[in-house]
Structure 1
Amino acid sequence: MLAASPHPETQYLDLMRRIWSEGSERIDRTGIGTRSVFGATLRFDLAGGAMPLITSKRVYWKTATRELLWFLDGETNIRPLVLQGVSIWNEWPHARYVSETGDDIPLEDFVKRIANDESFAANWGDLGPVYGKQWVDWPTWRYRPDGLYEPGEGINQVAQVVESLRTNPGSRRHIIEGWNVAQLDRMALPPCHKTYQFHVADGKLNGLLYQRSCDVALGLPFNLWSAALLQRMLAQQTDLEPGEFIWMGGDVHLYLNHGELIEEQLTREPQGRPRLEIVRRPDSIFDYRIDDFSVLDYRPLGALKAPVAV
């Protein structure tokens, strides 16, 4: 009798366990400290609607989906997220506001002002040229006859990838890149999930995400879902079947103040096999709505919370 194949989530828990037990302790940018390993790979088969949606704790996949749609809109201001109840980016502009104004406003009050005051949000809710800006409006410069440069037309990398997958599927250049070296110092946070590459074989779309820095406890469950979802959307738009999703991490770490969450999660077993149904095919990769996505058979164990390191 053949042994049952391991649950796809087991590799995620094994990575968490390895970092927590064997990782090198390091002082990081936040001052909190991490245990870290360098270089890791996870692989997931997306056939049959399967998705890398973590079940050993509840992952708020709709929040991650709203963030992805925000990226595809080219947005860099948190206000559209705040108005949808998405709080994952709030700490960064709040920290900048407190630092630059000296007004030690509580985070909750800051977020309310972002929601209720458009001019305040315009001044203090922007994150700089983060993911969405680079994905759909990568800045260019045009050389003028007088010897000066002026802004040129932005590059929509996502639209280019859709077109190249349709017209030149064998290309090795199906890439979306977020690491714009010239603008890193203007971003609230340089891109962690920085490079996406896609590959077509036998009518299937495979995807790979390289992540330079990864908080495995809080960030990675969102990153896995979001990257696989983008791959599923691209597959639908290009009439391809979803293939394999590969995640690769550089500095892969756990924060020292997340120990309680980590140790609890490592006692849990994966639950079921969640699947995603995309219930509508919009005209464009940029026209999806939150209601277009339905998750089936998702019965996770309870939520686990820990503070975000800013």
Structure 2
Amino acid sequence: MTSMFPSRADHYEQQYLDLMRRIWTQGDERIDRTGVGTRSILGATMRFSLAGDAVPLLTTKRVYWKAAAREMLWFLSGDTNIRELVRQGVHIWTDWPLDAYRKATGEMIDRDAFEARIVDDADFAARWGELGPVYGAQWVNWPRYEPAGDGLYRRADKGHNQIADLVDGIRNNPGSRRLLFTGWNVAEISQMALPPCHMTYQFQVSSGRLNGLLFQRSCDLGLGFAFNIFGLSMMTRMLAQQCDLEPGEVVWQGGDVHLYLNHAALVEEQISRTPGGAPVLRINRRPSSMFDYRIEDFEVQNYAPQAHIAAPVAV
């Protein structure tokens, strides 16, 4: 019998579509933090090759990869305020501070007006655009404490830079099983607008190639995954370039992998599409460190996705 859904088993994206179909048809229906409801499974793995500059961008819908790239560069800067993202036209973190502002003030301001105030008013941005010690704060400024006398400790002015140590480890101890960084700082979770979903990255040097793995405790497969897998690929490529290695493969592991119940139109449309094409990610410059890349350094070629599929974000 012919399946009602087209398939290209040889295309890297088919594993994603198969997982989406499995969750939508077999997942456990659950009430979640947002109140929207999901269908969910625990535990999933996908693997993608980065050989020949390949990048696993989804082709069954348009992925705005520059927004994902800008977000990754923002993480590496250590910034935790949405102001710089908003200045660049990236809206993916706005919903959380906007929701907090509405609840605190009772003013049902729309997103555009809120973002305009964030950009135009530094004091407003400092008060309402801050997300707490999310990803970048942990990646490059994990809190350190130093003796302050009388058996007491104070927080050091400069935290631990996990990314700088990772680069040093890949270069000088490539056989290590400790080539990783994480955003899951238990002591600061309650201060974050959203605890890290893509929480732990690990890397392996193998035969002159760098492989990257991401463990994601919680994955919105319909919306978030497309950015997460691009971010993992981009990070692996940057590290490989900085450490004079070739890119190998990326491995994505999801904990709670779910689809929101209000994403039915997205899911059903996307699994009806057939993936195709082989996009590549070029890095056009080698800067002096992981912290000196610019958005202009990245270029995606041969990307011809099908139409964007809109869906609401659950906050």
- TM-score over 0.5 (shorter chain): yes
Asked whether 1:197 is paired with 2:202, we answer: yes
Report the identity percentage.
61
Q: C-alpha root-mean-square deviation of aligned residues, in Å?
A: 1.0
In the alignment, which residue of structure 1 is the partner of 2:10? 6
In the alignment, which residue of structure 2 is the partner of 1:182? 187
In the alignment, which residue of structure 1 is the partner of 2:76? 72
Q: Name the CA distance, whole Å, in 2 between partners of 1:177 and 1:140.
A: 15
Asked whether 1:83 is paired with 2:87, we answer: yes
Change (3 A) 1:103 1:212: same
Q: Name the CA distance, whole Å, in 2 between partners of 1:44 and 1:192.
A: 20
Q: Name the CA distance, whole Å, in 1 between partners of 2:91 and 2:304.
A: 23
User: Where in structure 1 are there 5+ consecutive unaligned residues?
Assistant: none
Aligned partner of residue 295 in structure 1, secondary structure: strand
In the alignment, which residue of structure 1 is the partner of 2:261? 256
**1:85-117, CA deviations, whole angstroms, 9 ceiling, x for partnerless residues?**
000000000111111222222222111100111
Runs of 4+ in 1 over 6 A off after TM superposition: none
Task: Give the TM-score taking structure 1 as reference length.
Answer: 0.98
Asked whether 1:140 is paired with 2:126, we answer: no
Asked whether 1:59 is paired with 2:79, we answer: no
- What residue identity is the alignment partner of 2:305? P
Q: Name the CA distance, whole Å, in 2 between partners of 1:300 and 1:95.
A: 32
Q: Name the CA distance, whole Å, in 1 between partners of 2:45 and 2:110.
A: 39
Q: Name the CA distance, whole Å, in 1 between partners of 2:285 and 2:278.
A: 22
Q: Name the CA distance, whole Å, in 1 between partners of 2:217 and 2:294.
A: 29
- What residue identity is the alignment partner of 1:197? Q
In the alignment, which residue of structure 1 is the partner of 2:239? 234
**1:24-60, CA deviations, whole angstroms, 9 ceiling, x for partnerless residues?**
0000000000000100000001010011110000000
Q: Report matched runs for 1:1-310 at 5 Å.
A: 6-152=10-156, 153-310=158-315
Moved more, 181-190 or 115-124: 115-124
Q: Name the CA distance, whole Å, in 1 between partners of 2:191 and 2:102.
A: 18
Change (3 A) 1:31 1:233: same
- What residue identity is the alignment partner of 2:109? I
Q: What is the CA-CA distance between 1:5 and the residue it aligns to?
A: 6.6
- What residue identity is the alignment partner of 2:159? G
Q: Name the CA distance, whole Å, in 2 between partners of 1:175 and 1:297.
A: 31
- What residue identity is the alignment partner of 1:26? R
Aligned partner of residue 144 in structure 1, secondary structure: strand
Aligned partner of residue 245 in structure 1, secondary structure: strand
- What residue identity is the alignment partner of 1:47? A
